[in-house]
Amino acid sequence: MDKKDLRIVYMGTPEFAVESLKRLVEGGYNIVGVITMPDKPMGRHGSVLQPSPVKQYAVSQGLKVLQPEKLKNEEFVAELRSLNADLQIVVAFRMLPEVVWSMPRLGTFNLHASLLPQYRGAAPINWAVINGDTETGITTFFLKHEIDTGEIIDQVRVPIADTDNVEVVYERLMRLGGDLVLKTVDAILEGSVKTIPQEELAQVGELRPAPKIFKETCRIDWTIGVKRIYDFVRGLSPYPAAWTELYQEGSDPIMLKIFETEKLFCEHSLAPGTIVTDCKTYFKIASSDGYVNVLSLQLAGKKRMEINDFLRGYRHTEKAYVK
């Protein structure tokens, strides 16, 4: 079968999913439908509806778009079936019911931003960086009942540098994901796919999950040590961002988002969270085995700023600390 005859339904929502869809469209593949999340209410009163990045791209290319509230809805299922897809591709979407993923004759495959079976879940890129991993990757696999457990089609390994934040890794995986999606579609077209059950892949160490990240997940624990705090900050930078609260005598606590730090290992006798600063060039926060030197941050309601700009307006008190 020629790629122009292969009927593909594509499912995805965020920017990460746009790259693979774009590569398929530009490669001349036959996209017969795009499934994405309903438009999101925005603005003060939720009166403005914001389409997903995938919808915006699909509309710009004149592709058919479906936005079901519920994936088991009978009308949606009937409309999806009418598209008569040979193959479905899922990139950063939702958990699919069997009635959806089992529909096409060639199956449904997912692009996941980790080296499965590591980091099954909603936030694999964040957790790989937070945990200080030196390698991650992308995986294509066929969907089955349990989330992120289907048989592996292909994988690409990607190094993580100690200076990389989640944005850098995200961009790298997004581009490589486009390559891998096309490679996987071509292998399915050629009938050359040889899948591997995830339990047969050799693993070093324990399997780590990648659960969804909430606001409280992002709060910094200043007791866990300099390296772990450093990785935690870059694993959430620039979004949703690690945060802490600044406490000063006579003032209400102030929320600080922290985007970039450096590691300073040394012995000291200060309590974790204690602030050490010259009020001009450095803003160090004590941990158990040294200091985390903050390089850029953001006050609630303000823009992100470099530390010297922050310190120009900062009035240090003797008992200032963060927690």
**Binding site residue list for (6S)-5,6,7,8-tetrahydrofolate:** 114-117
CA-based Rg of the chain, rounded to a whole angstrom? Answer: 23
Backbone φ, ψ for residue 198 (5° rounding): -60, -35
Report the interhelical angle of 166-190 vs 15-26 (nearest 10°). Answer: 40
Closest to 170 in 3D by CA, of 143, 142, 141, 136: 136
Helix ranges, the chain (H): 15-26, 53-60, 74-82, 98-101, 124-130, 166-190, 226-234, 307-312
- The residues with which 137 forms a beta bridge, in sequence order, are 157
- Which DSSP category does 60 fall into? H
Instruction: Report helix, strand or coil for 83.
Output: coil
Q: Give me 206's structure tokens.
A: 């324990």
CB atoms within 10 A of CB 227: 16
CA 96 to chain centroid, in Å, comes to 19
- Which DSSP category does 198 fall into? G
Judge whether 37 and 53 are in contact, CB under 8 Å.
no
Report the interhelical angle of 53-60 vs 15-26 (nearest 10°). Answer: 20
Closest to 130 in 3D by CA, of 34, 57, 61, 232: 232
* Residue list for the binding site: 114-117
